Each structure stands twice: as C-alpha cells, then as structure tokens.
Amino acid sequence: MDIREVAVIGLGTMGAGIAEVLARGGLQVVAVEADPEALRRGMSILQRSLDRAVSRGRMTSDEQAAVLGRVRPAGGFAEAAGADLAIEAVPERMEIKRQVFAELDRACRPDAILATNTSSLSVTEIAAGTQHPGRVVGLHFFNPAPVMRLVEVIDTVLADEAVVTAAAGLAARLGKTCVRVGDRAGFVANALLLPYLNHAVTLLETRFASRADIDTAATGGIGLPMGPLALLDLIGLDTALSILEVLHGELGGSRYQPAPLLRRLVAAGRTGRKSGRGLYDYGSESAQPAAAASDIHNGAGAGPAVITVTGPGASPGGELSAAAASAGITVRTDPAEPSDLVIVAASPAVPVLAAALAAGRPADTVGLHLAGPPGGTRLAELVPTRLTSPAAAAAARALAAGLGLTAVQAPDRPGFLAGTLLYPHLADAVRMVQDGYASAADVDTAMTLGCGYPRGPLELADQAGPGNVLDILQAMHLAYGDPAYAAPPLLAEHAAAGLPLRG
C-alpha cells in the first residue's frame, strides 16, 4: 500500500504533533478540525514547534516552509476523501471515536487505512463499528510526537495483515521504532506504567512512605528520570484515572484498581500541573517536586562516632563499612561491644527486626539498605523497626548525611521502599512476556522509548538477578497475600535455570 497523503483528525497537541511528524516525513497532510478556533490553535502549535526547531538549528527556514507547505488545514471530513490513511487524535472517549470513524467511513475511499491513536481503548471495538473493519489499525504515537521515537502498532482479530504491515512500514518510514502488539487494554507502555504509578499513590495514601521519599526512591533507588507522583502530575491525574478504569475493566486486580486518593483528587479538580495542584502544589515553589526535600534529612544532627554493622549484608569489606571507615567512623562487628548505633546491613527480603533482636540491642538498631543504579549515587533506605528509639533513628539519619548518601525512610516490610515500587512492576513485565503478548525486547523498547526509562524492566530484572527478584516477590506475597505480588512462573523458571530474562 502506497501511503502518500494522510488525514489527521483532531488538531490538539497530539494531533498537531502527528501532523508535524508526517509532514516532516515528506507526506501530504490534511489537518481536519471542525471548530475553526481549534483549527487555528492547532496550526499555531505546529508553527511554534517548527519555529523552535529552526531556532535550535535543527531545521532551516526553507525546510520549515516546505513542511508547512505540505500541511493543508481543513474544516470538514469531506476534505479527507483523497487520503490513503486517516488517523484520529481526538479525546479518549469511545463515543467520540465512534462518531469520528463513522464520518471517516463516509468520507474516505474503501481502500484507505483508518487508524486510531488511542492509548488504551479497544481498537477492535472501534473497528467493529465501521463498514470495513479489516482496514482499521491502532497507531499509538507518544507525546510529544515529534520527539518520542516509539509507535505502538496495534493489530486486531479483524485487521487485514497488509493493513497492519503498511501502518508499521509508515511508522518506520517516519523514523519511529515500532512495537507491534495485539489489542489489549493499555497495550505495552500504559499497561505497565499506570499500575506502577497507581501503586505509588496507594503507598502515599496508606502512609507507607512520604511523598518526597516515594519519588526519591524511584529516581535514586531505581534510576528512573522522574518519581511516580511527579510523573502523575505531569501526565494529569484525570488522564491516569481514565486509563486505569479501562485497564481495571478489562484486566481486573488490585494493580489496576484506581487508588481512592487518586479518585478524590480528580473529583476535587486537583488534576496535576495543568490545574496548578495535584499530588504536589505548583502554586508554592517550595512544594514542587524538584524542591521537595526528603523527610529523612530533617533533624539529622551530629553523626555517630562508633557504629556496629551486622546483619545479612554485613561484611568487613562491605560497601557500607568501607564508606564509614573512610569517613573516620569506627566500625565494629560485635554488637556486644559498645557503639553509638547498630546498623543492620539489610536485605529487602529479610525483616530487620529479626536481626535487631539477634543483636540484643533493638532500641539502638536501624536497618540500612544501599540501593541505586550501578555507577550512580547510592540511595540509603533507612529502616527503623517498631523497637527503634528516636535517638537511634536520628543517628542513622546523621550517618547517612555524613556519608553523602541520599536517604529515604522505609518501613520494615519486604522490598523496603524502592523494591516495593519496583518488583511488582517487574512482575507485571514478566507476565506480559509470559503471556506471549510481547517479547522481552519489545517490552524494554516500549518502556525506554515510550516512557523514558534508562533501562527496560526486563533488563532491570536481569541486573538485579532473577533469583533476587523472585525472593523479594515471594516475601512480599507472603506478607500481603495479594496475587499482584505473586512471582510469575516464567521468573521462577529463569531463576532456577540461572538464565537471564532477556536471553
């Protein structure tokens, strides 16, 4: 199928971005927007984007003029009659999508490809309402479309193979990386990202950890570019809620059930950055994510001069002991000897309290787990137990500050904080591969190119070690009983065989 002219229906931010991508790829574009004022705004979005490209030296003025010359603004569906492909980028509501496709059915040629840019709705349901369901395909661009390299190409049980192949070929021709998947709620990227974000809201709502610590654990402990709560504010809490409702409706389970706090914030009009308030308050500079300080740093005081290091991760040459010794702190290993503080070099799969009791000084004991990506700044997860004294907790905070560590506070539960965010997320990704929905490589591609992850979830699982991931998930499942924390059989198989998940 030779695609030379494309109609873009809906010229909001996403539609204008898609129109730009197509025009920069050399295609003729018909930009359809029924509302004249919305059409004007959409063309202005396109103009400003191209102006930025010229000002940054990424495009010449002549190239800009050529791109704009390939975009024809149109006020009605009839002007899409000559298009080889039409793609809609209208709001994520099924009734609106159906209306658009009914109009495209009437306006476009019978052999034209009809595409939806939906991020979560059923492409099959959209296709089934058309006269020619075999020609309907999903083409999910990511925002901002001119920058983001990923396109999810969604097949359906009704689609003609030649149509899906042509749509994927177009995306590749535009310089995008394609991940081709079947029609399942959320596809790859949203089906993995949204339950992770939702879980973070639940952790905040249940006071598992503070807002700042949750986001710090994700950036410092996992290596993600943005914390989940800050990212939700950027996406829009209302947008996240609508996607979660679609996911929960199809997939069920606690991972997809929207957190009550998320619903309440949306009902209150606190939808994130676009409203000025969400999980953070953007009207107060001190409350913004970039400026939020972790609660763990408050009242750190002077650091301990002598510490005892014990527990499952303790060793004379261990990272923590070496760092403390380099800072001039006396390090001991026998809890019977006097010291200012007992540190359990903790494992996320083993309770700190057991080691604190074994040391015989539970009031003086705090768990400390070093996390973080290789070669990066290490994150100290400080884990007080029910028996830890306030003085010991303060001494642990001061120790972390004196060692130059970014610190967060975590409860004495499996996974601590970074692991509680990460490991169920990794389990979701492994299940997706296990179900045959997407390959490990495609899952990682979707999350790195579509969500900005420095490493995909399967690579993160291999980096942590499938056996370690398995141990922590099993501990979480035992503690909480939630099936969401159950280890996928595929993970157990790879752990037993000593094989990487991306092998």
Active-site residue list:
119, 140, 152, 190
DSSP-derived letter for residue 92 is S
Answer whether 454's CB lies under 8 Å from 448's CB: yes
**Cα atoms found within 13 Å of the Cα of residue 109, Cβ hemisphere only:** 12
C-alpha span between 500 and 466 (Å, rounded): 7
Angle CA(404)–CA(407)–CA(411) in degrees, nearest 5?
155
Cα-Cα-Cα-Cα dihedral sign, residues 208, 210, 211, 214: negative
In the block, which residue shows the tokens 């939700």? 232
For 203, 237, 246, 277, 350, the CA distances from 270, given in Å and listed in that order, are: 19, 8, 21, 5, 38
Which residues touch 127 (CB under 8 Å, ≥6 apart)? 133, 134, 136, 156, 158, 159
203 φ, ψ to 5°?
-60, -40
| Residues paired with residue 190 on neighbouring β-strands, in sequence order | none
Residue 74 φ then ψ, to 5°: -140, 145
Closest CA to 255 of 427, 490, 456, 478: 427
Q: How many CB atoms lie within 10 A of CB 149?
A: 14
Decide: helix, strand or coil at residue 384: strand
Strands 136-141 and 150-154: antiparallel
CA quadruple 466, 472, 477, 483: dihedral sign: negative
**Cα–Cα distance list, 117 to 143, 157, 411, 467 (Å):** 11, 18, 41, 38
- Are 343 and 399 contacting, i.e. CB atoms less than 8 angstroms apart? yes
DSSP 192-246: HHHHHHHHHHHHHHTTSS-HHHHHHIIIIII--SS-HHHHHHHH-HHHHHHHHHH
